[in-house]
A and B are shown apart, each in its own frame.
Chain A
Amino acid sequence: MAEFRPIDVNARFIGIGEYYVGRDAMTTIGLGSCIALILHDERHEVGAMAHVMLPESKGQTDRPGKYADTALATLLEGLGPFGSRNGSIRAKMVGGANMFGFNDNNLNIGERNIEAVHRVLDERRIALDAEDVGGKVGRSVMYNPKAGGTIVVRRADGVCAEL
């Protein structure tokens, strides 16, 4: 049974628009339309996570973790000094829900975020290993680079699953 205990493991909390690159456990709480983009390098036991809020930066540079395009570039750049190369990096993503079931395309930011993350991963030729995205459900996610890149996703009803 997967466990979700960010406090016990002293995980780094990644708020909306933030990111972290390193060897510590990291967590994102209450993902709705946002996406946790996670990069894992098994060989170097290092990884990165960004809490992406919007698909495109449109030239904004102050919060690289906030947008799909700038987030991926920034995470890859951050992993470079650890010896990571594109070939050894695998991606996972969680979130992109449509919490209110809005049909209005404008409000369905979750869907647009999923598409944008897929697109930038393709562009940089990073393999997407697994994803738990879409639907009408909130998710919290916990990732520990030293635990073989396993991700634990928890839903509002407390059910946890490994990804």
Chain B
Amino acid sequence: MKLTEIQADALGELGNIGAAHAATTLSQMLMSDIEMDVPSVDIIDIAQFYQCVGDEKVALVVFRIDGGVEGEGFVVMMMPLPSAMRMTNTMLGMDDMDREINEMDQSAIIEIGNIMVSAFLDATATLLGIVMLPSPPALCIDMAHAGMEALIAEVAMETNDVVIFRTNLTCGQHAIDGTILMFLTPEMLGNLLSLLEALTSQGM
């Protein structure tokens, strides 16, 4: 499976709009500026996945994409553990970094992920003129690669390629780094691409 340059650009732009909305919500919650890098869209062979995501300990909040597009897809908010802790500290007005992640942190991480990913999906769906909703969130605090294996197993059941969209968000003031990732089956990718093509042909 290969994307044409136009398809990769269109998908990148779609993700860009989504991520920008997600970044805005994070910026409001932290009351700080958020920088966003240029999103990448890659088709990766499952065997190479360990080269994209390692086994460092992170917080992952995972959402299945529900709604108007056929196929399977997931959106993930990933944050290195120290960043996640600085984020909840900032929000809850604490500064203790020398502690274990507690229930309050977990609720805050899930809630922030929920707000960001809802904004991400809402912005992309609105652009496409469809409805895409996040499923209830699931949290995992463990190795990044380990957390994502179950998602890969879902989207790569019948293929060895996964479509991965990713963009990094950074809050310099509080030293918080996060990544938004989207995993799609070829089916959902195809459907999103035809919606995008329909938009472009209307002279977007």
B47 at the interface (CB under 8 A from A): yes
How many angstroms between the C-alpha atoms of A54 and B153 in the bound complex? 7
Determine if A62 and B142 form an interchain contact, defined as CB atoms under 8 angstroms apart: no
Partner of A30, one of B48, B149, B153, B156: B149
Q: Is the CB of A32 within 8 A of B50?
A: no
Tell yes or no: B199 within 8 A of A by CB: no
* Residue B35 lies at the interface, judged by CB distance under 8 Å to chain A: no
Given contacts A15-B46, A62-B160, A100-B138, contact A140 B153 (CB under 8 A): no
Contacts of A139 on B, CB cut-off 8 Å? 143, 146
Chain A nearest CB, measured from B32 CB (Å): 28
- Nearest-neighbor residue (CB-CB) of B56 within chain A: A156
Taking the closest CB of chain B, its distance from the CB of A80, in whole angstroms, is 24
B contact residues around A134 at 8 Å (CB): none
Residue ranges of B at the interface with A (Cβ–Cβ < 8 Å): 45-51, 53-55, 57, 62, 138-140, 142-150, 152-154, 156-158, 160
A residues with CB within 8 A of B? 13, 15-18, 29-34, 53-54, 60, 62-63, 66, 97-102, 107, 109-110, 136-140, 154, 156-157
> With A53-B156, A138-B146 given, can you name 6 additional A-B contacts, CB distance below 8 Å?
A15-B47, A53-B46, A63-B47, A102-B150, A137-B146, A154-B55
